[in-house]
């Protein structure tokens, strides 16, 4: 059994009580670039999403977990998305909500826990992620966890009217 608990954080399923936390993240325009969001989300839509969050990854092709610190405070999210059981792969993304909680190793621990879960429980062969060319901290995080840059998507995303390149990174698990 894979432990979803690290030294400084643990991962848990979404709960109805996470409504305000998810609402704040989904409506924070500073992170829209990461999630390819272009419009705000209502609390009604997020409530509906949370009501369906219990569904199996094999059905919805996604798993979103809350990153909590040792004081049980929700500090971020980590996702598996585009889950492809046949080809044994999924995308992975991590977000620490507040600047005060960044650069403390929480994202690192969360990534380690979810990589282990994906390999053992989901029997995945590979994980991939998409990281903006100028997001040096995320590039370092994923590279330090065995992800390799396998491509550069030129002019892939538009931010404030300017095109940005995005790296595709991949990690073969087994």
Domain locations along the chain = 9-124
Residue 1: band (very low, low, confident or very high) from pLDDT cuts 50, 70, 90: very low
Tell me which CATH homologous superfamily contains domain 9-124. Answer: Gcn5-related N-acetyltransferase (GNAT) (3.40.630.30)
H or E element: which one contains 48?
helix 43-51
pTM for the model: 0.91
Q: What is the pLDDT of residues 113-143, one digit of tens each?
A: 999 999 999 999 999 999 999 999 999 999 9
Cβ atoms of residues 105 and 145 within 8 Å = no
Q: What is the mean pLDDT of the chain?
A: 91
Q: What is the pLDDT of residues 90-116, one digit of tens each?
A: 999 999 999 899 999 999 999 999 999
Cβ atoms of residues 169 and 148 within 8 Å = yes
């Amino acid at each position: 059994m894979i432990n979803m608990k690290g030294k400084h954080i643990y991962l848990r399923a979404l709960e109805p009580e996470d409504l305000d936390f998810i609402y704040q993240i989904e409506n924070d325009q500073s992170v829209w670039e990461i999630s390819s969001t272009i419009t705000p989300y209502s609390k009604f839509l997020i409530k509906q999403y949370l009501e369906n969050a219990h569904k199996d990854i094999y059905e919805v092709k996604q798993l979103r977990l809350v990153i909590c610190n040792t004081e049980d405070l929700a500090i971020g999210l980590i996702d598996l998305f585009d889950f492809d059981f046949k080809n044994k792969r999924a995308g992975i993304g991590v977000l620490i909500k507040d600047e005060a909680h960044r650069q403390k190793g929480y994202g690192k621990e969360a990534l380690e826990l979810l990589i282990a879960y994906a390999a053992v429980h989901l029997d995945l062969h590979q994980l991939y992620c998409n990281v903006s060319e100028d997001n040096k901290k995320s590039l370092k995080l994923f590279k330090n966890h065995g992800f390799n840059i396998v491509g550069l998507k030129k002019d892939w995303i538009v931010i404030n009217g300017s095109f940005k390149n995005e790296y595709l990174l991949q990690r073969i698990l087994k």
